[in-house]
Chains A and B, each alone.
Chain A
Amino acid sequence: MKRHWWKILGALLIAYALIAGLLIPLNTGILDIHPDNALLGEKINVQINAYNAHFDEANEIQVWLKLDSVHFLNGTDIKVQSNTEMTANFDLPSIGLANNRTSQSATLIVDNEIDGYALLPGALQISANKDSLALKSTAVWSNQLGQLHKNEKLTFPYRNILYETIRNLFYHVPLWFAMLIIFFISMIYSILYLRSKEKRHDHAAYALTQVGILYGILGLITGAIWAKWTWGAWWSFDVKQNMSAVAMLIYLAYMVLRSSFEDYEREARISSVYNIFAFTTLIPLLFVIPRLYDSLHPGNGGNPGFGGEDLDHTMRMVFYPAIIGFTLLGIWLANLSYRYLKLKETWIDRD
């Protein structure tokens, strides 16, 4: 049992990533509000649609509009229609936009004691024009926000566009991380083989490459599914998507290369050389070229990377174990394939 602790650890971490990653609910978020624009000085009644909220059960619901750090407006006449829908009135003051601006967007803040607070930046576009000058409102901005509640429950951050797909971060990204780690170990074994000419090193490199390809294909599939629901298409000609597909072609070529030799020694030696060459081109392919082009991926082409607010502590708690779990599972898979190769060599290719 002592020798297998890492396999158990890998399986446990994957189970944890699946259970925690799929079961922990999303934080409360605001989907949209209607209307989403208003004139300064207008009295408006807005319909608020929220996600994962408990308005029906909550007692202390507050709604705020935030124009900037010193202009807040409390919503009145809150009418709850269901757990996720309600209406509120806002009596917009006649002045308040930053100097010389004719239009400014305000953030909507919804708060209650069960869900904590939720924000929707840019929820309401407030404009000033000659119509708004005619509206004489007596309302004034408040210079501070009321007491907000904080959600103490375990939740994942709510992000517009991403919604529930934010959970894919625990599967899609760790698969790529694990693939890179596995290809890297495979390259190390190829170097070892070239130095030692021991068959077991080549078997290990071969087995690890097989798992790396499997992970790469799974990474492409999970990425395509994620892209479908956030970018709108399975394949959006994103440079990182394309380069990942090319990376898979490079490693599939390794498989073809392995099968085109007659004697084993030559096969092992030349595919080891190719494996080292292939891993080295993988680095510019996945990390340099995507930076030269615009990409939809976070962290490329000027997009912010996952991090800061998006990757909060709850997500890190699942994300990092998932990377370790997928890597260990990959090494386990490679270990099985390695043992198969060794047995095949001993019992089938013996003569």
Chain B
Amino acid sequence: MEILRQVRTLVTKEFLLEWRSKYALGGILLYVLSTVFIVYNGFIRVSPPTWNVLFWIISLFTSVNAVTKSFSSENGQRQLYYYSLMNPTAVIFSKVIYNSLLLILLNVLTYFVFGIIAGDPVRDKGLFFLAIFLGSIGMAVTFTFISAIANKARNASTLIAILGFPLIIPILVSLIKISANALGVITDTAVTQDVMTLLAIDAILLALAYILFPFLWRD
């Protein structure tokens, strides 16, 4: 499959770029640490319901910061170069895959740092990591797509927040509910249904990104 090979090449390229310009990755890691620390200093004692919401708020802002640069960091000419070499679908997929992996890493890191500093109330680790996994994919798809849209407009950085935050709410709301189950804050017998809902939202967004991106990149 030609497209899979292209996706693999592009994902490797993304990792390589990230690794070479260590300041970006270092910056985002430091961002996670300082946010966690600020939140901890603000609350000190964090009850499980608050922990749950704070974790996802931190995760949301980390995602915005980590993902939104996916299109703005590369200038128009270089993107044109990619599009002339590769299938545009491969470009969006590689960015989504790279961002999903990055967000999973960052969220797991946030979890450990937050867990060490503010205590770890998670009881059902498996469910919580499933939430991190699905949530990272959902946020990666939404914000990658939104950054592709906003990058075409004038005030890109404002637009990302305006366009992205309302669209992320369905994902965030179901994430908070699933992880509340994992924390034992609420007990819901229908948690599988919530996970399926989140999975369905992720799948729909991914399908949309696949269908709509070909209309987006060409100028």
Q: Is B126 at the interface (CB under 8 A from chain A)?
A: no
> Given that A284-B201, A292-B177 are known contacts, is A266 also in contact with B219, CB under 8 Å in the complex?
yes
Question: Is A289 positioned at the interface, with any CB of B under 8 Å from its CB?
Answer: yes
A250 CB to nearest B CB, Å: 4
- Expressed in whole angstroms, the minimum distance between the Cβ of A291 and any Cβ of chain B is 9
The answer to whether residues A266 and B166 also contact, given A272-B215, A273-B212, A284-B197 and a CB cut-off of 8 A, is no
Within 8 A of B (CB), among A273-294: 273-274, 276-278, 280-281, 284-285, 288-289, 292-293
- Would you call B163 and A274 a contact (CB within 8 A)? yes
Cβ contacts under 8 Å, A289 to chain B? 170, 173-174, 197
Would you call B154 and A260 a contact (CB within 8 A)? yes
Known: A269-B215, A270-B153, A273-B216. Contact between A292 and B167, CB under 8 A?
no
Does B153 contact A280, Cβ atoms closer than 8 Å? no
Query: By the criterion CB–CB under 8 Å, are A274 and B149 in contact?
Result: yes
A257: Cβ under 8 A from any B Cβ: yes
Chain B residues lying within 8 Å of A274, measured Cβ to Cβ, are 149, 163
B170 touches A261 (CB 8 A): no
A134 at the interface (CB under 8 A from B): no
B162 contacts the other chain (CB 8 A): yes
Q: Mark B160-173, 1 if CB is under 8 A from A, else 0.
A: 00110111011001
Give the Cβ gap from B212 to chain A, nearest Cβ, in Å.
5
A181 interface residue (CB < 8 Å to B): no
Contacts of A293 in B (CB 8 A): 173, 177
User: Across the interface, do A281 and B167 meet the contact criterion of CB distance under 8 Å?
Assistant: yes
Look across to chain B and name the residue whose beta carbon is closest to the beta carbon of A286: B170
Residues of B close to A188: CB separation below 8 A:
none
Q: Which residues of B sit under 8 angstroms from A269, Cβ to Cβ?
A: 215-216
Q: Which residues between 50 and 74 of chain A lie within 8 Å of chain B, taking CB atoms?
A: none
Within A212-241, which residues are at the interface with B (CB < 8 Å)?
A: none
The chain B residue sitting closest to A273, CB to CB, is B212
A161 at the B interface (CB under 8 A): no
**Does B155 lie at the interface of the complex (its beta carbon under 8 Å from any beta carbon of A)?**
yes
* Size bracket of the A interface: 20 to 34
Interfacial chain A residues near B170, Cβ < 8 Å:
281, 284-285, 288-289
Given the interface contacts A273-B212, A273-B215, A292-B177, does A246 sit within 8 Å of B166 by beta carbon?
yes
Min CB distance, A52 to chain B, in Å?
A: 42
Determine the chain A residues whose CB is within 8 A of the CB of B154 once the complex forms.
260-262
Does B159 make an interface contact (CB < 8 A)? yes
Question: Which single residue of chain A is at the shortest CB-CB distance from B219?
Answer: A266
A269 and B205 alpha carbons, distance in the complex (Å): 19
> Is A253 close to B, CB under 8 A?
yes
Say how far B188's CB is from chain A's closest CB, in angstroms.
9
Residue of B nearest to A263 (CB): B219
- Flag whether A194 is at the interface (Cβ < 8 A): yes
Q: How far is A278 from B142 in the complex, measured between Cα atoms in Å?
A: 11
Asked if B24 is at the interface (CB within 8 A of a chain A CB), the reply is no
What does the 1/0 interface line of A243-256 toward B look like (CB < 8 Å)?
10011011001001
Contacting residue for A270 out of B193, B204, B208, B216, CB 8 A: B216
B93 close to chain A: CB less than 8 A: no
- Collect the chain B residues with CB atoms within 8 Å of residue A280's CB: 204-205, 208
Closest to A281 in B: B167
The verdict on B194 contacting chain A, using a C-beta distance below 8 Å, is: yes
Is B145 part of the contact surface with A, judged by Cβ < 8 Å? yes
B80 CB to nearest A CB, Å: 15
| A226 to B145 Cα, complex, angstroms | 38
Known A-B contacts A270-B216, A289-B170; the reply to A260 vs B153 at CB < 8 A is yes
Check B167–A266 contact: CB distance below 8 A. Answer: no
Q: Is B166's CB under 8 angstroms from A249's CB?
A: yes
- Check B45 for interface membership: any CB of A closer than 8 A: no
Give residues 201-219 of B contacting A (CB, 8 Å): 201, 204-205, 208, 212, 215-216, 219
Interface membership of B152, Cβ < 8 A: yes
A292 touches which of B145, B166, B197, B208 (Cβ 8 Å): B197
Q: Judge whether A278 and B167 touch: CB under 8 Å.
A: yes
- Chain B positions within 8 Å of A, measured between CB atoms, are 145, 149, 152-155, 159, 162-163, 165-167, 169-170, 173-174, 177, 193-194, 197, 200-201, 204-205, 208, 212, 215-216, 219
Query: What are 9 A-to-B residue pairs whose CB atoms are below 8 Å?
Result: A249-B165, A266-B152, A270-B152, A270-B216, A272-B215, A273-B149, A274-B149, A284-B204, A289-B174
Counting from the closest, the 7 A-B pairs by CB-CB distance are A249-B166, A260-B153, A250-B166, A284-B170, A253-B162, A273-B212, A260-B154
Binding site for B on A (CB under 8 A): 194, 243, 246-247, 249-250, 253, 256-257, 260-262, 266, 269-270, 272-274, 276-278, 280-281, 284-285, 288-289, 292-293
